[in-house]
Structure 1
């Protein structure tokens, strides 16, 4: 607010105290100084008058080019992309690109500004076209660094278009060229495309090499492997690498780092996508569901904000302004050649008169076709809106159905837990179970076969599902292995199992590993207890 007030005061003072060219020149230089220090120009309100002044009064094309360039910068900062593109193109039109005295570097930078607007609007085809023009003029200016920057931006456009192979090839070529020219920081800027491509191709070995190069060459990381929020998206790719090689804990750390630093929609979208993937792999359904919802919401918001309507309007206005420029130039030529204009107008009138009758019928046909297309378009729009409404109702109904099923599932799970607890308590109250508990407490071996048979019979009665599961593997299971599984299910300690069976601890450990592999296809004995108890 204060900044706006100060700019208004400055503009008023200059308008009152100066006059004519000196007044406009002062405003132009003031805006140029703000632009050079990258100050936001959204509060500047006088540049349209300045540009209009230089457009109508005699001055050099260089001044006109500068005035419209600054006006375009103001409109860009105000968020009016179509108007900014129009003024940037008008600024370029004042450059005599056929002259050796042309400021090709400035022309290249203006094209770069236009390309960045199309980049923000997710219009990669037009962005690529403009970057090619920017690169051409950078090359004509012999500015190799600016040329390489333009080439690198083309990589981003190819990637957005889905031409990943072309993006990778161009990024690789740019990387090698920057190294040859000694532009190490710019070479580092090429690496994200390379390791992103390798990650999508599941080539984790090469992805690791490119990620390591980037951290070493970019100069963006401190000794603790931390970077600024501006480059936080790197953690998403690093997380993808760790996820791909199975280091889920490291991947989770990277995604959490991104979550802390994420401020843009793209960063949040990728953050939630990564967290959702990790928790799915770790089979943590609640967390996976939470981040899948956040990912979907962020993705929808990004799509809404990056609607193609703004781009279409910008392109339409660009084409319109270009045609207006051509019309204005033709008008000036006609005023300069008044005699020729008169003759041309008479000829045109004669031609129009002669073709009027034939065109009238054609226009009528075109009108009917147009009305038909408009009618179909209206019907299609109505159908589309109806489909949106139906989809919203369907989505709402499904959400309610999911919530209802979730509640029912929670009740059933609670009931199942209660029943399981009651069954387990009743099982432990059986005399044979208490006897085995007493043997375990006294570190005594159970050598009576009848007691083992009674124990197995009790398990068959109280834990029929568990007994059926063990019985399905009984053909290739020894009695001792069978008993280890039963004692583990009853949550006897390993040392107690050793005493009850009268065997050694290594023997019991080997049985646990063997049965874990045989019944659950798990390596080792660490997960044996959990697998047995879960049955």
Structure 2
């Protein structure tokens, strides 16, 4: 009898290990969370009482899915308190995809709490966890993370950075074959161009979004873009086109109630329809719509726009008393709006630079690490010998790279100096000219040893570009084993775009299929940076750089291996 009881207990234990509690519930929620987050939330809420009996890994997965479903369902995450525990768990036990999801959701929590710096911090951590070179990378999730970062920069009124994030979101949406996400990025990127006063780009991307929304059956979203086009057409007195855009917005956007009034938050329509009627000299209709704006005083911008429109109409009607009245009201509303904008600006600046919360969290993490220190001491002793060996090896490798880069940089500086001296004496000192030409030829040959696919004549053709400050600074970074900042990468890209427009245009044609690292490798190789410099500037191993060059040679030129990549790239 006892044996039978032992066997029963053993069988129950094995069954529990094979089918841990909550497995089926979590699998169902995982299946629903992308396409139907409301249904996923319902499944999770029904199982909430049982989670206390779940194994730890299943409880963490439950909490991750719950936060993800809430985020997908556009529910605020500011009241969630368990994401710290979830993030710590997956950073220690999760795969790359799970770590990316956890970091993204932590960023979403701070986004909804109004802390933009911390939200950006965790969104960037999420991007760093994504292996965008892997075939199973979740490109759709990467695209959404970049879109969230773009929205934060839009909130902070930083259009330059917002634009870069939208471009990345569009790139990864294409890789994910997420057509609708790509179209939405086209729609939203026009806002960044608007803040940069690039009107042609605003019109281009708005029209692209309109056509693509229509093509894929989203007539409501297509119609919503027409308020932007109405503003553009009214500015240039294209009144027929403006009326057509306003009519489509009214009829198809879904922003109007059954009684014909516009939904809350979209009252600016009344200003544009009023402006249309004003320009058509139908002043009674213009007054009617301008006055409708005054029915929504909660937003001071509605009152300001309404008073501005009425002042303009009564000026055309030569009603002096009314002009004076609405000019006064407009001035007051404008002052109030400016005060609110100033307050918002102060709040925005404070949010951008207020890192006290992140510092507090860092202190708490530090204290937790100290509590774990005693347990780690034994492991440290065991690993110290191995670590010392690795350190010595890395130090030797760094020294070798430093010496190589130093020699290359010195040769480059000598080459630049000799070239400048040659240019200064070319007019009247033939003998000294011949001497310097020989010196330059010798230096070109020595530099060619480092750039095996670059012939001596190319150095002369690209002399002005190679002497540019940002190029010299990059060589100095490689010599000092320092990694460039994002701003320096942007400066380098701008110099290449201006100095080598044909090369930049051909490379940009392939932008959608290139990763950031691949793009940077192309720029550096084109500018004659040697492989050992690439390893420092990109913070990659020598083998990783070789792999990237091999992959680029196949992508751009259809050739295998990396040996012909430099020569092929220099032909662009």
Per the normalisation by structure 2, the TM-score is 0.51
1:252 maps to 2:282: no
Equivalent position of 1:302 in the other structure: 341
1:195 maps to 2:230: yes
Q: 1:58 to 1:108 in 2, by over 3 A?
A: same
Take 1:116 and 1:336, find their aligned partners in 2: how far apart are those partners?
46
Take 1:336 and 1:230, find their aligned partners in 2: how far apart are those partners?
63
Equivalent position of 2:389 in the other structure: 339
Which of 92, 110, 134 aligns to 1:75? It is: 110
Equivalent position of 1:38 in the other structure: 74
Question: For structure 2, which runs of at least 5 residues remain unmatched after alignment?
Answer: 1-45, 359-383, 407-572
Equivalent position of 1:525 in the other structure: none
Cα RMSD (Å) of the superposition? 3.5
8 Å CA contact retained: 2:300, 2:333: no
Take 2:93 and 2:332, find their aligned partners in 1: how far apart are those partners?
61
8 Å CA contact retained: 1:118, 1:126: yes
Take 2:201 and 2:144, find their aligned partners in 1: how far apart are those partners?
24
More deviation in 70-79 or 229-238? 229-238
Report deviation, 1:222.
4.7
Report deviation, 1:221.
3.0
Which of 184, 196, 199 aligns to 1:164? It is: 199
* Residues 356-371 of structure 1: pairs in structure 2 closer than 5 A: none
Report deviation, 1:74.
0.8
Report deviation, 1:194.
0.9
Report deviation, 1:34.
2.6
1:214 maps to 2:249: yes
Q: 1:276 to 1:124 in 2, by over 3 A?
A: farther
Deviations 1:412-465 (A, max 9, x none): xxxxxxxxxxxxxxxxxxxxxxxxxxxxxxxxxxxxxxxxxxxxxxxxxxxxxx
Q: 1:21 to 1:173 in 2, by over 3 A?
A: closer
1:182 maps to 2:217: yes
Take 1:223 and 1:174, find their aligned partners in 2: how far apart are those partners?
27
* Residues 3-14 of structure 1: pairs in structure 2 closer than 5 A: none
1:313 maps to 2:349: no
Which of 174, 177, 198 aligns to 1:142? It is: 177
Which of 139, 148, 157 aligns to 1:113? It is: 148
Report deviation, 1:306.
3.3
Deviations 1:216-248 (A, max 9, x none): 232333564322113222112112212222333
* Residues 51-62 of structure 1: pairs in structure 2 closer than 5 A: 51-55=87-91, 57-62=92-97
8 Å CA contact retained: 1:123, 1:311: no
Equivalent position of 1:22 in the other structure: 58
Take 1:50 and 1:112, find their aligned partners in 2: how far apart are those partners?
23
8 Å CA contact retained: 2:184, 2:209: no
Take 2:184 and 2:253, find their aligned partners in 1: how far apart are those partners?
15
8 Å CA contact retained: 2:270, 2:290: yes
Take 1:290 and 1:174, find their aligned partners in 2: how far apart are those partners?
38
Equivalent position of 1:292 in the other structure: 331
Which structure: larger Rg? 1
Take 1:101 and 1:141, find their aligned partners in 2: how far apart are those partners?
10
Take 1:348 and 1:105, find their aligned partners in 2: how far apart are those partners?
38
8 Å CA contact retained: 2:304, 2:334: yes
Question: For structure 1, which runs of at least 5 residues remain unmatched after alignment?
Answer: 1-9, 319-333, 356-535
Aligned residue pair count: 326
Deviations 1:446-489 (A, max 9, x none): xxxxxxxxxxxxxxxxxxxxxxxxxxxxxxxxxxxxxxxxxxxx
Deviations 1:358-391 (A, max 9, x none): xxxxxxxxxxxxxxxxxxxxxxxxxxxxxxxxxx
Q: 1:259 to 1:34 in 2, by over 3 A?
A: same
Take 2:257 and 2:397, find their aligned partners in 1: how far apart are those partners?
75
Report deviation, 1:335.
11
Deviations 1:6-62 (A, max 9, x none): xxxx9x99998666433433332332233233222111122123212221x222112
Take 1:210 and 1:102, find their aligned partners in 2: how far apart are those partners?
40
Equivalent position of 1:65 in the other structure: 100
Equivalent position of 1:99 in the other structure: 134
SS at match of 1:241: helix
Deviations 1:93-146 (A, max 9, x none): 222211221221111111111111111222122111111111111111112111
8 Å CA contact retained: 1:149, 1:186: no
Per the normalisation by structure 1, the TM-score is 0.54
